[in-house]
Amino acid sequence: MKETHIRMTRGPIAREMLEFAAPLFLGNLFQQLYNSADALIVGRMLGYDALAAVSGTGTLVYLVISLFVGIGAGSGVLVSRYFGAEDEEKLSLAIHTNVVFSLLSGALMTVFGVLFAPTVLRWMGTPEDIMGQASTYIRIYFGGSLGLVLYNGLRGIMQAVGDGKNPLKYLIFSSVLNIVLDIFFIGVFHTGVGGAALATIIAQFVSGLLCLRRLLTTKEAYRIEPRKLAIDWSMMRLIVRYGLPSGIQNSVIAIANVVVQSNINAFGTLAVAGCGAYSKIEGFVFLPINSLVIALSTFVGQNLGAQEYERAKKGARFGVLCSILTAETVGVLVYFISPFLIGLFTNEPEAIRFGIQKARICAPFFFLLAASHGFAAVLRGAGKAVVPMVSMLSFWCVVRVTFLHFMVPLYPSINTVNWVYPLTWALSAVFLAIYYAKADWLHTFEREQHGKSLFSGHHT
């Protein structure tokens, strides 16, 4: 079988990182189609109220999945490092433990989402005229949580060993399937927003099963063997050690974003529709940065695992700078063409106006968001996930919620809500930049390897 992974411990740094990021970008592009096809098709075929119902559930979806996906990211750090160190025994333990954890997480998410998500939508102040559609969409969506978690867990394993091409192929196929099913269910069977949710979960299961088939049949050291599917508790402790900070960070930030969404909901259905459309656009235009950040974290993890410390340092500088420049380029573009982009989702002038307002406040500051993610990716790749967690919790949660609590009553405008994003991006970017520059993160890792190795563990 042809080797599809990329070992980034040799060769030109820029080429290796960008070569790895390119299929990630295409993969993330089609992943975003999952999140946006429903909104785009629903907005055009069912109207702005249905668009608001689908878009308004996004923060709740992220709230539920963020903890499990964050913890799963801890296995990605370990997988990339064991792969770089060519430690096949611990690589296998990390992979099989992660798969079992993903299956259990998907089951828990299904139960929670189906039973409690509509109640949380009410707590968020979802406008009553879209509550019924939003509840229908969210319950069906969470009914397919297993496919979502399975795909993301298996894709994370494949990306950690440098295989971005196969997940990309599977995602292209399932994304096209999602769009076809959206049109089929909504346009032919007139199933409304429930059909959009059903199309998404079917496509998610297809992509997850294709990844599983690949990992079951590969001859590489990272293959999945059913007889080995069990939780190794020593490895699980390491996964939690590296992933729990990200999981807690993601969950608490998601709670803060639920508070933000509640403030948007207070301005009515048109505001929910317009701001929701902008959020889908932001998800698309930030894809190159997300791809670079994943490549950067994997690059750092592989090279530290291989004890290529100077190479890891050079790659970190390149990855962060490239992310910042790319983000600001797309930010300027979004600023000027936002009326056209928002108009793709809805013809309602007032909804478009809300979306443009948010775009022209947030887009010029994309470089700050990229800096925060870039520095955080380097630190996570080095095993220092607590520092990004503290930064994000402090600024993207505490400051964000506090700002809204005091400022919205004083200045009751949707723009007051919109400004909370650039403000908190700036604070986290400055904090992480100072830590990155002052802290001896690289040599701390090097000293750990000469003392208590991350690979020693307590496995039996």
Residue whose C-alpha is closest to residue 114's, from 60, 186, 173, 188: 60
Q: Which of 284-293, 395-404, 417-426, 428-437 has the lowest mean pLDDT?
A: 284-293
The reported pLDDT for the residue numbered 458 is 37
Which tens digits make up the pLDDT trace of 174-219?
A: 888 988 998 889 888 888 889 988 998 999 899 899 999 999 999 8
When computed from its CA atoms, the radius of gyration of the chain, rounded to whole angstroms, is 21
- DSSP conformation letters of 152-211: HHHHHHHHHTT--HHHHHHHHHHHHHHHHHHHIIIIIS--THHHHHHHHHHHHHHHHHHH
Q: Average pLDDT of 91-105?
A: 89
Residues 283, 35: contact at Cβ < 8 Å?
yes
Q: Which of 184-193, 244-253, 271-280 has the lowest mean pLDDT?
A: 244-253
pLDDT band for position 313 (cuts 50, 70, 90): confident
Where do we find the tokens 């630190």? 379
The H helix count followed by the E strand count for the chain is 19, 0
Q: Average pLDDT of 104-125?
A: 87
Q: CA-based angle 69:75:77, to the nearest 5?
A: 105
User: What is d(CA 446, CA 310) in angstroms, rounded to the nearest whole number?
Assistant: 11
DSSP annotation of 11:
S
The reported pLDDT for the residue numbered 425 is 95
Residue whose C-alpha is closest to residue 121's, from 64, 176, 75: 64
Residues whose CB is less than 8 angstroms from the CB of residue 224 and which lie 6 or more positions away in sequence, other chains included: 95, 96, 99, 212, 215, 216
The reported pLDDT for the residue numbered 324 is 93
pLDDT at 34 over 80: no
The reported pLDDT for the residue numbered 364 is 96
User: What is d(CA 117, CA 81) in angstroms, rounded to the nearest whole number?
Assistant: 37
Which tens digits make up the pLDDT trace of 49-80?
A: 888 888 778 777 777 777 666 676 667 778 88
The reported pLDDT for the residue numbered 6 is 61
The reported pLDDT for the residue numbered 123 is 85
pLDDT band for position 443 (cuts 50, 70, 90): low
Give the residue extent of every domain in the chain.
13-450
Average pLDDT value for the chain: 84
The reported pLDDT for the residue numbered 298 is 80
Where do we find the tokens 């405008």? 413
Residue 31, token pair as written in the block: 């992943």
User: What is d(CA 181, CA 200) in angstroms, rounded to the nearest whole number?
Assistant: 8
pLDDT at 4 over 60: no
Q: What percent of the chain has pLDDT over 70?
A: 89
pLDDT band for position 18 (cuts 50, 70, 90): confident
